[in-house]
Amino acid sequence: MSDKQVTQAAARSEATTTTDPEPTPSTSGDDTTPGRAPDDHGPRGSNGDDRAVDLAMPHLGQIEQAFVERWHENATGCFSSGHKFCREVCPVTQVTRNENHTPTAFHANVIGLEKGHLSVEDVADDYVHCTQCGGCEVRCPNTLMVGDFYRARTETVKVVRAMRAMLVDKGLDREKWKVWNRLTDELKNEPVLGVEGEQPNGQAQVRDWAAGLDIPIGGDTIMFVDCEAAYYRTSVPRATAQILRKAGVEFGLMNEQWCCGGPAAEMGYVEQSMRFARHNVDDWRRSGVKRIIAIEPHDYVHFTEDYPAYFGDEFDFEVVQIIDLVAELIRDGRLELVKPIERVATYHDPCRLNKRKGIHEAPREILRAIPGLEFRDVDRVTQWSYCSGGGGGLPIEKPEITAEISRRRLEKASELDVDLLVSACVWSERPLTAAGDEAGIEVRDIIELVAESAGIEVGGRTRA
């Protein structure tokens, strides 16, 4: 009854918000980096009027001042509501049950800073506790109900990222993130195989996953392979490449593929993220690329939100999410799924697809098209509160929280009596697999499954 009410309310309001699901360009990007003027969509007070609140804050340094000015209005929207619909949906809070880690606290702290009650040091650790899943934003009634009218969305992910950027600027960044991003900077790819000792995952190995597949370099369309897929779960890019080939989609790989820069941006290393983005965009330009296939949801968010914010109009590439593309190929009969997969499966909505990008229909369409598969679905609204814990740098700083989030996700799957949990995000698959080992449920990527059903011998590996 009441669950349904929430669903109905959400579904109903979604109908009115899909016209503009993404933030307007002026509010995207981590525009709180020093040296970049905070964007100006009117001073405080929604109408940008003469009654703006006085924000002269002599107690704040320049960096904090810019941060507070940028986020004052957003934070006030939450602070003056404070109803905490965002709490129970938050995967981190579900585990820690600590109000410091609630989305609403991330907004209240902005007011606390502004009033001189809190310093950046005081709140630094709190902002580590976020996977940037976006659950709080879609669940926030201020987004759901009035968002369309006032073009407002409670921005929590961006606040978290901006705060982390400020931590980096002030030298308060967390130790493990520091190491991770330093290594990424050196390797040009994330140290997904480990931060200790020699790194077997640098540029020299960036295309090793494609051994024997003879994929060309460059071309009109390229497939962007993110670091976890390139070095860790290589079955995912291998499955993707072979599906695309089988369906007759032409594509190549980059000349010199660096990390997309997304994880750095998520952890607050904005300058590094922009540098990596610049490199990749230049690489695409050099080989005449027009279209990028993002095989991983984090990359997709980064390419569709951060790159446009970094480069403005210069960024004129078409970005395609693999799930949408594969659903289309199946729908159009270009990819035939012939081999039955006799399993009982449920689907894990990856946060960045479902909560951040509203992609939830296509994966279900794909799963229903796989012969033999018994699909036990959990609706996407219920899954707003699900997560793997794998995003936003959480597994690097707080692996125990990530593991617990994944354990709980598998517990939910167990209740459905399934033997397979299917995800569509390679970053989720590592913690989910570890939890799946405990729960006796196998974790697969949806593309691996599609490839198998298309009769492809995928190769590669699913774990280290």
Neighbours of 309 (CB within 10 A): 21
108 near ligand SF4, rule: CB under 6 A: no
148 interface partner picked from another protein, ligand SF4, none, CB below 5 to 8 A per type = another protein
Identity at 140, one-letter amino acid code: C
Among residues 133, 274, 335, 369, the one that binds ligand SF4 under rule CB under 6 A: 133
Site string for another protein, 132-151 (x = CB under 8 A): -------xxxx-xxx-xxx-
12 near another protein, rule: CB under 8 A: yes
Stretch that binds another protein, among 44-52, 257-265, 332-340, 421-429 (CB under 8 A): 44-52
44 near another protein, rule: CB under 8 A: yes
Residue 297, both tokens: 């949801």
Mapping DSSP onto H, E and C, the string for 72-115 reads HHHHHHHHCCCCCCCCCCCHHHHHHCCHHHCHHHHHHHHHHHHC
Sheet holding 420-423, edge to edge: 374-375, 344-347, 420-423, 442-445
By CB under 8 A, what part of segment 154-183 binds another protein? Answer: none
- Closest CB to ligand SF4 among 17 and 462? 17
Residue 199: how many CA atoms within 13 Å on its side-chain side? 23
Nearest CA to 113 among 41, 32, 219?
32
382 interface partner picked from another protein, ligand SF4, none, CB below 5 to 8 A per type = another protein
Phi, psi values for residue 217, rounded to 5°: -100, 140
Among residues 186, 282, 415, 438, the one that binds another protein under rule CB under 8 A: 415
Identity at 279, one-letter amino acid code: H
125 near ligand SF4, rule: CB under 6 A: no
Q: Are 385 and 406 in contact (CB under 8 A)?
A: no
Q: Could you give the CA distance from residue 93 to residue 102 in angstroms, rounded to a whole number?
A: 6
Residue 310, both tokens: 């970094």
18 near another protein, rule: CB under 8 A: no
Nearest CA to 69 among 27, 98, 32?
32
Stretch that binds another protein, among 10-18, 158-166, 215-223, 441-449 (CB under 8 A): 10-18
Neighbours of 116 (CB within 10 A): 11
Q: Are 130 and 158 in contact (CB under 8 A)?
A: no
Residue 98 beta carbon to another protein: minimum distance, rounded to whole angstroms: 6
Among residues 109, 234, 346, 402, the one that binds another protein under rule CB under 8 A: 109
Phi, psi values for residue 140, rounded to 5°: -65, 120
Site string for ligand SF4, 142-171 (x = CB under 6 A): x-----------x-xx--------------
402 near ligand SF4, rule: CB under 6 A: no
Q: Could you give the CA distance from residue 262 to residue 224 in angstroms, rounded to a whole number?
A: 13
Residue with tokens 């914010």: 309
By CB under 8 A, what part of segment 302-331 binds another protein? Answer: none
By CB under 8 A, what part of segment 55-84 binds another protein? Answer: 73, 76-77, 79-84
Identity at 242, one-letter amino acid code: Q
Stretch that binds another protein, among 106-114, 212-220, 228-236, 255-263 (CB under 8 A): 106-114
Integer-rounded Cα radius of gyration of the chain: 22
103 near ligand SF4, rule: CB under 6 A: yes
Counted residue by residue, the chain has a size of 464
Residue 198 beta carbon to another protein: minimum distance, rounded to whole angstroms: 34
Q: Which residues contact 372 (CB under 8 A, 6 or more apart)?
A: 340, 341, 342, 343
Site string for another protein, 379-408 (x = CB under 8 A): ---x--------------------------
Among residues 135, 191, 393, 395, the one that binds ligand SF4 under rule CB under 6 A: 135
Site string for ligand SF4, 62-101 (x = CB under 6 A): ----------------x--xxxxxx--xxxx---------
- Closest CB to ligand SF4 among 106 and 224? 106
130 near ligand SF4, rule: CB under 6 A: yes
Neighbours of 374 (CB within 10 A): 14
CA triple 137-140-143, angle to 5 deg:
80
262 near ligand SF4, rule: CB under 6 A: no
Q: Are 303 and 260 in contact (CB under 8 A)?
A: yes
Residues in the interface with another protein (CB under 8 A) total 63
- Closest CB to another protein among 95 and 359? 95
Question: Which residues contact ligand SF4 by CB under 6 A?
Answer: 78, 81-86, 89-92, 103-104, 107, 130-136, 140-142, 154, 156-157
Binding residues for another protein (CB under 8 A): 1-6, 8-10, 12-13, 16, 44-47, 49, 51, 53, 73, 76-77, 79-85, 87-89, 96-100, 102, 105, 108-109, 111-112, 115, 117-119, 122-123, 126, 139-142, 144-146, 148-150, 152, 382, 415
